[in-house]
Structure 1
Amino acid sequence: MSKNLSELNNVRTLRAQARNTTLSILEEMLEKLSIVVSEQREALQATEAEARKKAEKLALYRELLLEDNISPEELVNGTQSVGPRKNKRAPRPAKYKYSDENGNARHWTGQGRTPSPIKAALENGQSLDDFLL
């Protein structure tokens, strides 16, 4: 809660602030606060109405399913296997071998970002064929 809202929530602070404020300004603030409160109530009621409507529809659908001897679990499990599944392809074999900064032998398939040691060697005039396995 912000400092301003916490001050508005404290009766003593409100009384102290009200002493320095005219009655017309306090009444104007009360009207504005009433508008904000009513808007919040309306939004909450709309959300609750949507939730009730959704619950009623779910109950209706459940009843319809049970009348046809279909359990909701069957309905959910029956839709999971729609269409053929795609298998993942096998990893590509490495085409190039290089040494990293620590001197460890590393491999690269030739796809994706070029490793920095190979990139540096290519910039220095070496050929990619020099790294072939």
Structure 2
Amino acid sequence: MSKNLSSLNNIRTLRAASRDLPLNELEELRQKFETVVNERREEERAREAEAREKAEKLAFYQELLLEEGINPSELVNSASAAVAGKKKRAKRPAKYRYSDENGQVRYWTGQGRTPSAIKTAIENGQSLDDFLL
């Protein structure tokens, strides 16, 4: 709580401060506080109404599922299984074959950075098609 609000929360501080204010200003402050409090009450009522409505909907759908012979936990488990069943992409097949600096035969899918051996060969006049499988 801020310093100003904590001083408003202390009755002694309020009494001391109110001695220096005329009554009409105190009445104006009271009206402003009432407005703020009423706004907060309305917000709380709206939140409570939304929570009640959501609970009613959940109960309705749960009852509907049970009437159809479906256990709600089965529904949750089937949804999580579908999300958890994400598969990895299959490894791409190689498109090119080349020999590296050590003379070993290597393969390249054609994606990603071009191997230095192929890059050097292309700079020396060879074509990428020369390395096709």
- Report the count of equivalent residues: 96
The aligned residue for residue 39 of structure 2 is 39
The aligned residue for residue 75 of structure 2 is 75
Query: SS at 1:87's partner residue?
Result: coil
Query: SS at 1:85's partner residue?
Result: coil
The answer to whether residue 19 in structure 2 is matched with residue 10 in structure 1 is no
Query: SS at 1:21's partner residue?
Result: coil
Return the index of the structure with the highest Cα Rg. Answer: 2
Report the CA distance between 1:89 and its aligned residue. 7.2
Query: SS at 2:33's partner residue?
Result: helix
The aligned residue for residue 87 of structure 1 is 88
Query: SS at 2:80's partner residue?
Result: coil
Q: Distance in 2 between matches of 1:88 and 1:5?
A: 58
TM superposition outliers: structure 1 runs of 4+ over 2 Å: 79-86
User: TM-score, normalized by length of structure 1?
Assistant: 0.63
The aligned residue for residue 55 of structure 1 is 55
Report the CA distance between 1:22 and its aligned residue. 0.5
Distance 1:14 1:71, change over 3 A: same
The aligned residue for residue 98 of structure 2 is none
Q: Structure 1: any 5+ residue segments left out of the alignment?
A: 91-110, 112-127
CA RMSD of aligned residues (A): 2.7
The aligned residue for residue 26 of structure 1 is 26
Aligned-pair identity in percent equals: 54
Larger helix proportion, structure 1 or 2? 2
Q: Structure 2: any 5+ residue segments left out of the alignment?
A: 92-111, 118-133
